[in-house]
Structures are given as C-alpha cells and as structure tokens.
C-alpha cells in the first residue's frame, strides 16, 4: 500500500498532457531594449512595401480572432512604435479586397497621429483568395500567408440567458480576448453585450466597494452588472482612458459579429432604433461608402468605481421593478444618434503595455 501511494503521484504526473506543465510566457525588458537597439527601419513611406514587409514577417498561417476581422500587429522602426492592422472586411473580401492600416502608436502626450490607410486589391499587387469559408490567402509578390478567421458559427447563448423580448444578433470576440453575445431588445429598442461565460473568461473579476452586483475586470477594466433577473453579466462600462487611447480595451463596439449576422437581422434592429437611416446603410449598419458605421455602444465610459453605481441605483430602484428595467443598462436612455460614429476602420489598435 505504501509503495502504491508513493508511485501514484509519479504515474499521474507522467499521464498529464504536456500543456498542463507549460509556464506563462515571460515578457522581459531585455527583449524590449534589444529590439529598440537593433534600430531597424520599416518602409513606412510606401504602403505596398509595408504590406509586403508585414507578410514576410508573419508565419505562413495566422488566425484573426476579433469578429470584425482585424489582424492587429505592432513593430518598432527607428526607435518608434507603430501599430496597424490587416482587415478582411466581410463586405468586400470576397471581391478580392483587403484593408491595410498602420500609424505611430498612440501616446497620451501627443495628439492623434496620421494614419496610413489603403484598400488594396490585385491592382495594388495584393491578391486575396477565398480558400474556405473561414480561410483566406493573401499574396504579395512571392509571399503568401493564410489568414484563418474565427469560426464562432456554432456559438449560441445558453438556455435561459435571454429575456423573452431579446433576440440574438451574433457572437462577438473582442480584441481584448473577451467574448460576448450581442443581443437586441425589440420592445425597448436597445442592445446589450452579454458576457459569454460558456468558455473561461480570461480576466479576474472583482466586485466594486459599493455593491456586489457590479464587477470589474482587473486586466480589461470592463465593468459588468450581475443581472437581477437572469444568470448573466451585462457590459455596462469601459475605462475612459482606454477609449481615448483606442487600445484593445476600448470596448466591443468595433468588433460586431460580421461573419455571423443572418440576413437583415442586424439591419432590422438598427432601423427600429433609427428608422431615418433606411436606404442609407447596408446590412452591417455601415454607410455605402464605408466611411461610417452605426455605433452600438450602450455602455458608459467611467473613471472611478463610483461612476458605475447609478446603474445599480436604477436597477434596484423603482424603474428596476417595472417593464423598463433593462433601460438601466444603457448609458444614454434616449434613442441612438442617427448618424452613429465614424467607423474606426482605418484606425488600428495599439498593443497595450
């Protein structure tokens, strides 16, 4: 018996899969400094050369996680950090087009920097081929890279997660790594981002001091309300500095579920909120020239925990006991502005430190 007890831990350890023994990846100041002092320079002034540079630097196959199909990247050139993205937009990638952007990364002490942006196709030397529904090949010169899109087509909210007045628009995978369900309440004409907890949430959530109904993400700064009526968490706030920096934590407004929107499901919802937009936007909610997209950001921006408490005051007060309870989770209880917000398409996301 003693021998069995002594051998068992070793046997279990030997049987464990290799990934269970992996360690978190360290990010060191040494690597940061040495990359700076390599002092290599990218061809910043030439968009075509820049796209070729990015493709040559990538592995043969990469994955795009965010659901608006942005592949974000960053690099140093001449001691300056740049950020950018390649986007395979659902509206025109099958027409052989990609969207390419890069710019000096955001810093708080300087204003917004000019963006180098272009829609590119075969005429620009960029060939985009559809290999499968969620797989595209991008070729520039003699270099090809496969871009795998994030297949969330089977993702649905768990049973009982939606209110009878709500319908599911689609799954959202934010560039922060957080997943949401985008839902629309047809009676109150409002949207919610519901935290997807059918998978592990890569963040540590902790309650704010004034109530345990509001929890904050330690890494992301996302604020959620623990719904009083259903077992779910509704996104109610993002930290203001993140929206100003336009970083990975500025909220999921720019990662709508483009690959998974069925027919006119989203368009119908938008037109219920803003009927005057009929005939001016496509089924993704974007203007036909691609310059703007209807803003779906029902959450607030906050600076302090106390800024979030009015949500709980509303939800637990007289309004919360009536049919307008879910209006408590929309930052602006008035109808959405008809024009929405300019689509951040040419703008890339910097990598947070």
> How do residues 74-117 score in pLDDT, each as one tens digit?
999 999 999 999 999 999 999 999 999 999 998 878 877 899 99
Cβ 239 vs Cβ 221: under 8 Å:
yes
Q: Which pLDDT score is estimated for 333?
A: 56
Whole-angstrom distance, CA of residue 221 vs CA of residue 240: 9
Instruction: State how many domains the chain has.
Output: 2
Asked whether residue 115 falls in the same domain as residue 193, the answer is: no
Q: Which pLDDT score is estimated for 15?
A: 46
Asked whether residue 194 falls in the same domain as residue 129, the answer is: no
Last residue of a domain, one of 149, 176, 199: 149
Q: Is 122 exposed, middle or buried (0-12, 13-18, 19+ CB in 10 A)?
A: exposed
Secondary structure of residue 187 in the 3-state scheme: coil
If you count them, how many residues does the chain have? Answer: 353
Residue 59 lies in domain: 29-149
Asked whether residue 248 falls in the same domain as residue 104, the answer is: no
Establish if 40 belongs to a structural domain.
Answer: yes
DSSP secondary structure letter of residue 265: H
Asked whether residue 290 falls in the same domain as residue 249, the answer is: yes
pLDDT exceeds 70 at position 353: no
Q: Which pLDDT score is estimated for 110?
A: 80
Q: Which pLDDT score is estimated for 9?
A: 41
Asked whether residue 333 falls in the same domain as residue 230, the answer is: yes
Q: Which pLDDT score is estimated for 347?
A: 39
Asked whether residue 246 falls in the same domain as residue 171, the answer is: yes
* pLDDT band of 289, cuts 50, 70, 90: confident
Asked whether residue 326 falls in the same domain as residue 272, the answer is: yes
Candidate from 62-66, 200-204, 290-294, 343-347 with smallest mean pLDDT = 343-347
Establish if 232 belongs to a structural domain.
Answer: yes
Alpha helices, DSSP H only, in the chain? 2-15, 29-38, 47-57, 240-245, 265-273, 309-315
Establish if 60 belongs to a structural domain.
Answer: yes
DSSP secondary structure letter of residue 24: P
Establish if 282 belongs to a structural domain.
Answer: yes
Cβ 94 vs Cβ 74: under 8 Å:
no
Whole-angstrom distance, CA of residue 166 vs CA of residue 187: 8
Asked whether residue 130 falls in the same domain as residue 278, the answer is: no
* Predicted model pTM: 0.88
Establish if 81 belongs to a structural domain.
Answer: yes
Q: Which residues of 222-244 are buried (b: 16+ CB within 10 A; e: fewer)?
A: bbbbbbeeeebbbbbbbbbebee
Establish if 278 belongs to a structural domain.
Answer: yes
Asked whether residue 206 falls in the same domain as residue 93, the answer is: no
Q: Which pLDDT score is estimated for 334?
A: 32
φ, ψ (nearest 5 deg) of residue 44: -55, -35
Q: Are strands 292-293 and 341-342 parallel, antiparallel or unpaired?
A: antiparallel
Whole-angstrom distance, CA of residue 135 vs CA of residue 148: 5
Average pLDDT, the chain: 90
CA neighbours closer than 13 Å in the CB half-sphere of residue 46: 9
Establish if 338 belongs to a structural domain.
Answer: yes
Asked whether residue 176 falls in the same domain as residue 289, the answer is: yes
Last residue of a domain, one of 89, 118, 149: 149
Whole-angstrom distance, CA of residue 349 vs CA of residue 87: 12
Establish if 18 belongs to a structural domain.
Answer: no
Q: Which pLDDT score is estimated for 89?
A: 96
Beta-strand runs (E) in 229-325: 233-239, 292-293, 300-302
Whole-angstrom distance, CA of residue 26 vs CA of residue 81: 20
* Closest among 282, 284, 280 to 258, alpha carbons compared: 284
pLDDT in tens, 42-80: 999 999 999 999 999 999 999 999 999 999 999 999 999
Q: Which pLDDT score is estimated for 107?
A: 80
Asked whether residue 271 falls in the same domain as residue 309, the answer is: yes
Asked whether residue 78 falls in the same domain as residue 121, the answer is: yes
* pLDDT band of 18, cuts 50, 70, 90: low
pLDDT exceeds 60 at position 132: yes
């Amino acid at each position: 018996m003693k021998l069995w007890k002594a051998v068992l831990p070793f046997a279990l350890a030997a049987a464990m899969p290799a990934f269970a023994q992996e360690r978190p990846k360290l990010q060191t100041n040494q690597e940061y400094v040495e990359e700076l002092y390599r002092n290599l320079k990218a061809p910043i002034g030439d968009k075509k050369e820049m796209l070729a540079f990015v493709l040559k630097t990538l592995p043969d196959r990469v994955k795009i996680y965010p659901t608006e199909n942005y592949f974000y990247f960053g690099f140093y050139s001449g001691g300056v950090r740049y950020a950018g993205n390649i986007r395979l937009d659902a509206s025109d990638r099958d027409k052989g087009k990609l969207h390419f952007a890069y710019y000096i990364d955001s810093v708080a002490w300087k204003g917004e920097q000019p963006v180098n942006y272009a829609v590119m196709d075969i005429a620009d030397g960029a060939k985009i081929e559809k290999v499968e529904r969620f797989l595209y090949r991008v070729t520039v010169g003699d270099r090809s890279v496969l871009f795998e899109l994030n297949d969330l087509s089977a993702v649905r909210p768990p049973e009982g997660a939606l209110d009878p007045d709500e319908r599911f628009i689609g799954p959202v995978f934010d560039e922060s790594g957080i997943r949401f369900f985008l839902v629309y309440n047809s009676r109150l004409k409002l949207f919610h981002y519901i935290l997807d907890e059918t998978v592990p949430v890569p963040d540590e959530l902790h309650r704010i001091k004034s109530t345990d109904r509001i929890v904050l993400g330690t890494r992301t700064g996302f604020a959620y309300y623990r719904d009083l009526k259903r077992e779910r968490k509704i996104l109610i706030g993002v930290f203001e500095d993140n929206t100003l920096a336009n970083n990975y934590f500025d909220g999921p407004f720019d990662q709508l579920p483009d690959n998974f929107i069925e027919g006119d499901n989203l368009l119908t919802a938008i037109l219920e909120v803003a009927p005057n937009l009929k005939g001016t936007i496509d089924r993704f909610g974007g203007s036909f020239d691609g310059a703007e997209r209807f803003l779906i950001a029902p959450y607030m921006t906050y600076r302090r925990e106390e800024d979030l408490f009015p949500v709980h005051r509303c939800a637990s007060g007289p309004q919360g006991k009536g049919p307008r309870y879910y209006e408590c989770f929309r930052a602006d209880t008035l109808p959405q502005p008809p024009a929405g917000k300019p689509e951040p398409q040419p703008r890339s996301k910097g990598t947070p430190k």
